[in-house]
Structure 1
Amino acid sequence: MLTIHAADEVRHVWDDPEPVRGGAVAVQGGRVAGVGPLAELERRFPGARVRRWPGVLGPAHLHEGPLPDAPSPRERIHAVLKLGAAAVLAEHAGSPELRAAADRNDVVVLARARPTAITETGRADLAVFDESGACIATVCAGRLVHRRR
């Protein structure tokens, strides 16, 4: 199903000098199908489900440090998702249990840090943050994996 994630502002990269006000990201499967103003994407993708988020939508983060402490590997990975990250560094996810939990949640395990960005046809890893900087939602490979209640 095609889903459009709309927000007050969309940034291709977090230090984007020209964010899209009233922007959106269309997601088909695990990939970005389009980025731009919400009205434009609604015309391009009629019938798509629209999720509206307050705040700023941008690329999901790479969690570069040790994973947060939690009772289980699943909960440690979920703690990263709650921070708006969809990738972790291999040096901090070395155990088979952590890698399996990351894999089950579509969290990418990277050998080294790399920049994050929203690009058409790229993997749909997105995060939405409110005005205080708290993560409202995280999307990993097109799947909503965290939503603040």
Structure 2
Amino acid sequence: MLTVHAAPLVLPVGAAPVAQGAVAVEGDRIVALGPYDEVVAAHPAARVRTWPGVITPGLRQWHGLWLLTRCYHPDPREADALGDQPLWGEAFERLSGEMDATRWAGSVRRGLQQMLRYGTTHLAGRFNDPAVRTAVARSGLTEVPVVGAPGILLGEPGLDPFMEGYDLPGSVHGPLTVGSRADLAVFDVPDEEALNASGAEPCVATVLGGRLVYRRR
């Protein structure tokens, strides 16, 4: 099905922003990008999803390896005892000694689901753990190699791809272009400056290979 994603501002990265813009998606590909009126006129039969804020490329999570192999993502039923943030360091070491395969697989799945809530479509890492490798493949997220310093954990691992101080161009997987895979993120902010200041917390939707995989309620 052909779907048009529209927002007050589209930030393709590597090209000029498009006010009152739209991205048309068919299957897992972007087939058009430009002003809303032009995109809809060219695809009159498309379903239209209207979003607040800005549409950007999906983000790249540099801490993928840490978040999925050295962190525990608590089940909501464990929130009273463990909280709702990834546990790492000594807390993770204490838990890992009592973790069976089922509990570990659940943590990995929850970690991937949380990444989608932050507009993540790509994650860095070479995943050798079978449970992690299988979960990543099933999620549809794209694994990319760790290259250079950005793959080094400089502080506490976090789910927000902006947390290391990267701006939007430094946080996306690549630009939005016609013909590229339809990996999009939507943030409820007015412009790129506000997005750089807020980070990925205001994410309202993530589109992965053309599929809407996260929508904030």
Per the TM superposition, whether the score is higher than 0.5 is yes
1:33-56 deviation line (CA, Å, top 9, x unaligned)? 110011111111111000000011
1:127-146, aligned counterparts within 5 Å? 127-131=185-189, 133=199, 134-146=202-214
Matches of 2:58 and 2:112, distance apart in 1: 14
User: Whole-Å Cα distance in 1 between the matches of residues 131 and 115 of structure 2?
Assistant: 15
Corresponding position of 2:47: 49
Structure 2 residue matching 1:43: 3-state secondary structure: helix
Q: What do the CA deviations read for 1:85-126 (whole angstroms, capped 9, x no partner)?
A: 1010124x4422222222222100111358511110100000
1:17, CA displacement in angstroms?
6.7
Q: Compared with structure 1, are the counterparts of its residues 33 and 69 closer, same or farther at alpha carbon in structure 2 (3 Å cutoff)?
A: farther
Q: Distance in 2 between matches of 1:69 and 1:84?
A: 20
Q: Is the 8 A contact 2:59 2:122 kept in 1?
A: yes
2:129 maps to which of 95, 109, 119: 95
Answer with 81-90 or 131-140: which moved more: 131-140
Partner residue in 2 for 1:124: 182
Distance (whole Å) between structure 2 residues aligned to residue 69 and residue 117 of structure 1: 32
User: How big is the shift at 1:69?
Assistant: 3.9
Tell me the SS of whatever aligns to 2:115. Answer: helix
TM-score by length of 2: 0.63
One of 14, 38, 41 as aligned partner of 1:40: 38
The answer for the alignment partner of 1:5 in structure 2 is 5
User: Could you tell me whether the CA contact under 8 Å between 2:58 and 2:173 is conserved in 1?
Assistant: no
More strand by share: 1
Q: State the partner residue of 2:216.
A: 148
| Map of 2:166 onto structure 1 | none
Letter in 2 for 1:116: G
Report how many aligned residue pairs link the two structures: 146
- Counterpart contact for 2:57–2:173, Cα < 8 Å: no
Q: 2:139: which partner in 1?
A: 105
TM-score, length basis structure 1: 0.89
- Give % identity: 42
Range that drifts further, 63-72 or 132-141: 63-72
Matching residue of 2:60:
62
- Contact kept in structure 2, 1:20 and 1:37, CA below 8 Å: yes
Amino acid at match of 1:55: G
2:121 is the alignment partner of 1:86: yes
Structure 1 residues 69 and 116: CA distance shift in structure 2, 3 A: farther
